[in-house]
Amino acid sequence: MKRIIAQLFNGLLLMAIIASCSDDTKLEEQRKHSNKKATDPFSDVTRTDENINERNPGPGGGIIMQAFYWDVPAGGTWYQTIESKISDWDAAGVSAIWLPPVSKAMNGPNSMGYDPFDYFDFGDYDQQGSVETRFGSRTELESLINTAHQYDIEVYADIVLNHNSGGDLEANPFTGTDTYTDYNPASGKFYRSASDFHPNAVVGSDEGVFGGFPDLSHSTSYVQDWLWNRSDGVGKYYRDELGFDGWRFDYVKGFGGWVVREWMNNVGGFAVGEYWDGNAQLLQDWVNSTNRTASAFDFACYYRMDEAFDGNDLTKLQGDMLWKRDAAKAVTFVTNHDTDEIWDKMHAYAYIFTHEGYPTLFYQDYEEWLDQDKLDNLMWIHRNLATGGTDILYADNDEYVARRNGNPGIVVYLNDSNQWLERWVPTNWGNSVIKDYTGNSNWEPTTQNDQWVKIQCPPNSYTVWSLK
C-alpha cells in the first residue's frame, strides 16, 4: 500500500513538474506576446487627472444617469417617476442625473423639449397647447431637484441654445421675407425678434443651422444678457431659482465654443457638450475651444466600442478616444436618447465603468433592458476600485486586457469568444491574493513576486480583478 501511495505520489509530482514547466513556458510566451501586443498608439498622448474626482462619491469617481429616453410617457408624470427612483439610484452609485429640456417648447405637452419656445415656462403658463410640459409642472420639477439634493445627487439641465421654435411670422428686414422669429413668451422674459437670429445687423451666420429652425444669434448683446449675463437670465435663473448644478449643451456644433465658455465663466457648474463626432481630435479641439470649461461626450469611444463589440474585433479598443487624451473632460456612454447602435451593451458598460472618464448610464438600459444587478456591480467597481491611469496589456479579436494603476486599481479582462480564456498578465501587486469582483470567476490566484498572475474570463463575458 505504501509503495502504491509512493508511486502515486511520484507520478503526481512528475505531473506537477511538467505542468509547472508548461506554465512557465506559457508564461514566458504570453509575456513576450503581451509585450508585443500591448502597445497603445495613444498611450503617449498627454492626459490629465485635473478634477477627475470633482463629482466623486468614491475613489473611482461619479456616475451620471440619463434620466429619460426619447418619447417617455406624456401626461406630465415623468418628474414624479424619476423622483421615485432617486433613493435606489443613490444606493446603486449614481451621483448625478441629466434631465431633458425643462422649459415649454413649441409642441407643448407632446414635445421632448428640443424645440424651445419659452425658456422660463416650466409648466406654469397656458401656452403652446398646455400648462404643464410633457414631463410635469414646475412644482414637480423643483420637488425632484430637491429630493436629488437630499441624496447629494447633482442635477444637470439639458440646454438648447442653438435654435428656437414656435415664433410668429414677422417681416424680417435682414432677409426681405417673412420669418417665424417673433417670440412673445407668456413668462414675459426673453422676447425675441428677427434681430436676435441669423442673419442680423451684427453677423450673418454662425457655425451651424439645425433642421431649418430659426438660428439664435449669440453674438448680440441682448441674447448674451438673457442667456448668461443677467442675474435673472436663463443660466443664473436655472442655477439660483431651480437649483440646477450643471448643464448638458445640445448640438454644440451649431455655435462656437466661446458660447459655452462665456456661459461657464458667468454661471459656473458642470458642463458637457454634445459634439457629435467620432474623431477624438475634434472632440479635444472643442473642449479646448471652451477654454476647458466644459467636458464632451466621448463619441470616439462610443464608435470604437461599437466596432469592437459588435464587430468582434477588440483591437479597435486601441483606437483614439477622448478619454485617452483628456480623461478629466471625457463623458463616456453606451447609448442615449438619440443613438443606440451598440448591441453588446454589457461588454460596453464593463468597458466604460472600468476605464477613465465620467461614465453615463442610460435609463432604459438600467430600468428595463439589461441585468440591473450586473450594472450595480459594475458601478460599485467603478466607484471603489477603478482608479489611476490606464495601460492596455493585451488586445486581439477576442480578448482585451487593461490595467488601472491606482490604489487599489484593477485588471479588466474582456472575452468576446465562445470559450473560457486564460492569460498571464502583469499587475501592480506582488505576492498578493486577488479576486474577480464581478463573480464571473471563482479563482483567487496569488500574484508572483514579479507581479505577474494568470487570470481567466468566461465566454462572452468579463472579469475585473483586484486585491482581495
Domains and CATH numbers, the chain: 31-43+392-467 (2.60.40.1180), 64-164+202-387 (3.20.20.80)
Mean pLDDT estimate for the chain? 91
The three cell numbers of residue 306 are 461599437
Work out the percent of the chain whose per-residue pLDDT is above 70: 88
Neighbours of 38 (CB within 10 A): 19
Q: Which residue shows C-alpha cell 461657464?
A: 264
Please give the Cα distance from 148 to 160 (Å, whole number): 23
Q: What value does the mean pLDDT take over residues 372-390?
A: 98
Task: Tell me: is residue 162 an annotated ligand-binding position.
Answer: yes
E-state strands within 71-145: 96-98, 104-105, 116-118
pLDDT given for residue 58 in this prediction? 81
Q: Which 3 state secondary structure label does DSSP give 18?
A: helix
E-state strands within 267-368: 270-273, 295-297, 330-332, 358-362
- 18 vs 296 pLDDT, higher one: 296
Helices within 154-256 (DSSP H only): 221-224, 234-237
Q: What value does the mean pLDDT take over residues 222-243?
A: 98
Q: What tens digit of pLDDT does each residue of 170-192 get?
A: 999 999 999 999 999 999 999 99
Which residues are catalytically annotated?
250, 274
Task: pLDDT band for 163, please (50, 70, 90 cuts).
Answer: very high
325 has pLDDT over 80: yes
CB neighbour class for 406 (10 Å; exposed up to 12, middle 13-18, buried from 19): middle
- List the one residue out of 391, 388, 365 whose CA is nearest residue 378: 365
Please give the Cα distance from 116 to 122 (Å, whole number): 11
Q: What value does the mean pLDDT take over residues 391-416?
A: 98
pLDDT given for residue 20 in this prediction? 41
pLDDT given for residue 51 in this prediction? 40
Q: Which 3 state secondary structure label does DSSP give 278?
A: coil
Q: What tens digit of pLDDT does each residue of 58-80 get?
A: 899 999 999 999 999 999 999 99
7 has pLDDT over 70: no
Please give the Cα distance from 356 to 213 (Å, whole number): 37
Q: What tens digit of pLDDT does each residue of 247-289 get?
A: 999 999 999 999 999 999 999 999 999 999 999 999 999 999 9
Q: Which 3 state secondary structure label does DSSP give 415?
A: strand
Q: What value does the mean pLDDT take over residues 199-221?
A: 97
